[in-house]
Structure 1
């Protein structure tokens, strides 16, 4: 397949910087939006300059300047938005809708990948508040894309390993426990864990693939479809000992939302849908979807036992 001109919006973010790297690695002419709002954030500036050293081109553009967005979009074939979806509310929603409007007005984009990369929002209409708002917002962006007749690919990357695997899916920490661990329910509900670098690699693979045009691509590597118990067992094998475990009931998990701050309530709701409902694996991929590891068997994705090894003490 041919090389593309790719614009990454949110290129300094957690996933965005990996997408920039993956795009460059595939030989695409890669552009990264440089927003004046960066201000005195020296870390972001130095990251942008490092992209430039690696061969990316920086494009000044602002969400408060519609013309600058159109000018940036007109230089490329593909636009990938990787703005953080952790708190997708209001500000990010407005920016994504502005980006959709700019892509519509530019009229030249062959593929747009909006900022999703988690659970499929089209399957989360029943989600608990307050976390449901992030899925509702993503659906608003999808509707805007459809209404503007913009060619798209939606990417559902399931559980980022850095947030869900390295900590054995324990809330309130990013490190794996070495003594005791909490199981959600019986710990046997299957989830899907994906290394973030693999998310970026698969994402870039989709951008010029006719099989993914106007479809949702689910990143579901078969060896990474694991229950929480299976994930914990991988860590126990690496440690060489078993952890003490206790089971958290559905009732107790949901009860813990009361009195919690907004971000904690969102996280608890997401954990409920993943580890009690099984929302990542309780459906078959239909005609409007594709599975990434089947499309791109040449990608040697990271298995979770490999991933967990980095957390072992030297």
Structure 2
């Protein structure tokens, strides 16, 4: 039996482009949705053409033309949505629900929806306004399961470029040079994942019956680190000690005041990760799997090695 044909929706996005590359690398017939909405965005056009040069197929379809979307989905066995919607979540929700309807009509197609972060099923208690990002993912899950569409939910935890490279500081994407804010005592465990490893695990799960209708966590043991442990790795690499400023839970939440919507969402998510420990304060259970356990052949990137590029 050949490998499944994979369609990536949002293939020019941050995680989507990595999923396209991983799909091609692992030998899947790979399709990328080419949406007219990209307009004159030359970077995205060039990226699509580079995918085509590597062997991917471009499928033209628009979310405003439902029939074109159904026709595109009918070409493949698996659809992976990598659409980002951090600034316009309601818009993302509508697009994903349209995609669910198209998959339902096409029939017999597995779906991996846009998740790749914190498991929304565990975030019913999340702070406003950030909880909307979890609530809307659960709306999509409900639509998938009611339509009886085969699925895998991929929980990737913290993207390393956004959470490890900056030593988990908000508002910057490079390591701080002198001082570092430590959330509470800094000992709460998080999970840091190289984005290319996330893509690799995602494609590994495509044809794996062990992940069918299950939640797949990317939670390899060596990447389960506290913020203090992450900072120590950076200090060891640089040979320089950073001044550590402890930020209390109350002061951290108070910083939300006066921020725009996106900033408030970010504070809420950081709070759940670094004060509450929402990524690691539970055991992986029934109908759940852990990626590094299923795929020990993948040599995932440890954060020591990830941080070296920032020296």
| 1:114 aligns to 2:99 (yes or no) | no
Q: Which position in structure 1 is the counterpart of 2:69?
A: 69
Kept in 2, the 8 Å contact 1:2–1:208? The answer is no
Query: Which string of whole-angstrom CA distances, capped at 9 and with x for unpartnered residues, describes residues 124-144 of structure 1?
Result: 010001110010000000000
| 1:217 aligns to 2:216 (yes or no) | yes
Aligned to 1:48, what secondary structure does the other structure show? helix
Cα separation, 2, equivalents of 1:183 and 1:230: 11
Query: Which string of whole-angstrom CA distances, capped at 9 and with x for unpartnered residues, describes residues 134-172 of structure 1?
Result: 100000000000010000000000000000000000011
| 1:150 aligns to 2:149 (yes or no) | yes
Cα separation, 1, equivalents of 2:282 and 2:80: 27
Q: Which position in structure 2 is the counterpart of 1:15?
A: 15
Q: Which position in structure 1 is the counterpart of 2:41?
A: 41
Q: Which position in structure 2 is the counterpart of 1:258?
A: 257
Q: Which position in structure 1 is the counterpart of 2:27?
A: 27
Kept in 2, the 8 Å contact 1:184–1:250? The answer is yes
Cα separation, 1, equivalents of 2:108 and 2:233: 47
Q: Which position in structure 1 is the counterpart of 2:193?
A: 194
**How do 1:267-278 residues align onto structure 2 when only pairs under 5 Å count?**
267-278=266-277
Kept in 2, the 8 Å contact 1:170–1:182? The answer is yes
Cα separation, 1, equivalents of 2:83 and 2:123: 20
Kept in 1, the 8 Å contact 2:183–2:249? The answer is yes
Cα separation, 2, equivalents of 1:71 and 1:46: 24
Cα separation, 1, equivalents of 2:233 and 2:120: 30
**How do 1:239-254 residues align onto structure 2 when only pairs under 5 Å count?**
239-254=238-253
Cα separation, 2, equivalents of 1:115 and 1:238: 35
Cα separation, 2, equivalents of 1:18 and 1:147: 30
Q: Given the two structures, how large is their TM-score scaled by the length of structure 2?
A: 0.99
Kept in 2, the 8 Å contact 1:153–1:216? The answer is yes
Aligned to 2:128, what secondary structure does the other structure show? coil
Structure 1 segments, 4+ long, off by >4 Å, are: none
Cα separation, 1, equivalents of 2:279 and 2:165: 18
Instruction: Tell me the matched-pair count.
Output: 311
| 1:60 aligns to 2:24 (yes or no) | no
Residue 88 of structure 1 deviates from its aligned partner by 5.5
Residue 89 of structure 1 deviates from its aligned partner by 1.3
Cα separation, 1, equivalents of 2:291 and 2:131: 26
Cα separation, 1, equivalents of 2:86 and 2:220: 23
Kept in 1, the 8 Å contact 2:108–2:149? The answer is no
Unaligned runs of 5+ residues in structure 1 are none
Aligned to 2:89, what secondary structure does the other structure show? coil
Residue 85 of structure 1 deviates from its aligned partner by 4.3
Q: Given the two structures, how large is their TM-score scaled by the length of structure 1?
A: 0.98
Aligned to 1:117, what secondary structure does the other structure show? coil
Kept in 2, the 8 Å contact 1:85–1:116? The answer is no
Which segment drifts farther, 77-86 or 203-212? 77-86
Residue 294 of structure 1 deviates from its aligned partner by 0.1
Residue 87 of structure 1 deviates from its aligned partner by 3.3
Query: Which string of whole-angstrom CA distances, capped at 9 and with x for unpartnered residues, describes residues 14-57 of structure 1?
Result: 00000000000001000000001111111101100000000000
Residue 274 of structure 1 deviates from its aligned partner by 0.2
